[in-house]
């Protein structure tokens, strides 16, 4: 097995069990390794000099040169390894009562489940898998087999079409890996609301499972309120607000296909009062300003924008965008109203996001306070050694 030799002092993060090894930490590669091959990660100096600290997947095309599979120097990375890891991830979710009975569930959450580059979401009896790293791609067959066994699902579809694969030197791949396509649309029930899941062309694996608990919270808050939902995508927050008894739900998104899907989802739920829903295909930034200028007011506002800052290099531009939408939302918030505001940008940490929202409230002349910090659902765990896994952060604020 080839050895990845680190520069002296660069072993500290590995000793803390952080799974990423960046190009700047690598002194040299002793031996030959192809993309995705397993290499031994060896300390290049200090008291651990010459020690094997981890076994990792080699990725010469990426700035993240290797991603650790295991911090056990003698752990064999083979089919049995993936069977154990995937079974353990599924069992951890089975052990959480709040996840019992969920038709949509994340089974594998990449680094936080000890499987860098592997995402797997279950929708009913269909699993959608994303393989975004060279190592995950290398072990595709073992991963798919282990997923089928651990989940018991009849179908597995691959959505490895993320731009992240390009940074790993990989081409996008999509298609059925196991089983036949379903006869009709895939749909799940979430808190009593039926939602279509487009696993072929939808965002991520077809649905934003990470917001499950936050959609339930919105439902609990919505009774008797006028609600504004911005960047509604397929209408998850909007439909939960209707289910919770909102008097009116105004939903804004620039995507016409999203608008069509949201309307389809509403039609799947005849128990909801469609007359209380307004769907608007518009640029959210422009629509927020227009609503503010028109003197509109809402009791409950949701801001769930797309990823403005995928990396630290985009933070400045993203900060301006987050400031803009939060500033105008505060102007629209009725006295004593509540706002759920989110960032899913990995380059913007929680402290930075909170400062942005605070400046937006100040500039809007609103005295706001945090009622609750919001995060992803329990099937999206965050490894203590990998804080980068906390990409979704949110605030429930009152002003």
Q: Would you please indicate which residues are annotated as catalytic (active-site) residues?
A: 344
| Cα three-residue angle 372-373-375, rounded to 5 degrees | 135
CA nearest to 229, candidates 147, 269, 284: 284
- Please identify which residue in the block is written with the tokens 């128990």: 271
**What is the C-alpha to C-alpha distance for residues 263 and 274, in angstroms, rounded to an integer?**
9
| Cα three-residue angle 278-282-284, rounded to 5 degrees | 100
- DSSP characters for 210-229? GGHHHHHHHHHH-TT-EEEE
In DSSP terms, 123 is beta-bridged to: 104, 126
Residues 50, 43 contacting (CB under 8 angstroms): yes
* Alpha-carbon 47 to chain mean position: 38
**What is the C-alpha to C-alpha distance for residues 162 and 204, in angstroms, rounded to an integer?**
8
For residue 315, what are its two tokens? 């933070």
For residue 214, what are its two tokens? 């936050």
Residues 6+ apart with CB under 8 A from 155: 125, 126, 127, 176, 178, 179, 180, 181, 182
CA distances from 54 to 11, 196, 279, 328, 383 (A): 10, 42, 51, 48, 17
């Amino acid at each position: 097995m080839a050895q990845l030799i680190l520069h002296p002092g660069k072993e500290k993060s590995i000793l803390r069990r952080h799974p990423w090894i960046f190009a700047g930490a690598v002194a040299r590669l002793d031996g030959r390794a192809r993309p995705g091959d397993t290499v031994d990660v060896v300390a290049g100096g200090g008291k651990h000099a010459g020690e094997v600290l981890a076994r990792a997947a080699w990725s010469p095309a990426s700035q993240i040169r290797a991603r650790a599979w295991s911090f056990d120097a003698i752990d064999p990375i083979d089919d049995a390894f993936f069977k154990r890891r995937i079974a353990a991830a599924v069992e951890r979710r089975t052990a959480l009562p709040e996840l019992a009975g969920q038709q949509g569930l994340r089974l594998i959450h990449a680094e936080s489940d000890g499987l860098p580059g592997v995402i797997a979401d279950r929708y009913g009896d269909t699993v959608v898998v994303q393989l975004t790293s060279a190592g995950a791609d290398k072990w595709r067959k073992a991963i798919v087999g282990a997923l089928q066994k651990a989940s018991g699902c009849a179908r597995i579809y691959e959505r490895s079409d993320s731009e992240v694969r390009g940074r790993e030197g990989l081409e996008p791949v999509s298609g059925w890996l196991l089983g036949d396509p379903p006869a009709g649309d895939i749909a799940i029930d979430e808190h009593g609301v039926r939602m279509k899941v487009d696993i072929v062309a939808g965002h991520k694996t077809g649905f934003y499972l990470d917001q499950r608990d936050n959609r339930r919270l919105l439902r609990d808050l919505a009774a008797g309120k006028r609600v504004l939902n911005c960047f509604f995508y397929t209408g998850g927050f909007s439909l939960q607000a209707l289910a919770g008894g909102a008097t009116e739900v105004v939903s804004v998104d620039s995507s016409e296909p999203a608008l069509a899907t949201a309307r389809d989802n509403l039609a799947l739920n005849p128990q909801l009062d469609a007359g209380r829903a307004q769907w608007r295909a518009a640029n959210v930034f422009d629509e927020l300003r227009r609503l503010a200028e028109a003197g509109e007011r809402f009791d409950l506002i949701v801001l769930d924008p797309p990823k403005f800052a995928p990396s630290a290099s985009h933070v400045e531009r993203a900060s301006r965008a987050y400031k803009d939408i939060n500033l105008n939302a505060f102007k629209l918030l009725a006295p004593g109203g509540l706002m759920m505001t989110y960032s899913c940008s990995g380059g913007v940490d929680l402290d930075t996001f909170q400062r942005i929202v605070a400046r937006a409230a100040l500039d809007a002349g609103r005295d706001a306070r945090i009622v609750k910090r919001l995060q992803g659902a329990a099937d999206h765990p965050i490894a203590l050694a990998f804080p980068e896994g906390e990409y979704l952060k949110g605030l429930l604020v009152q002003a």
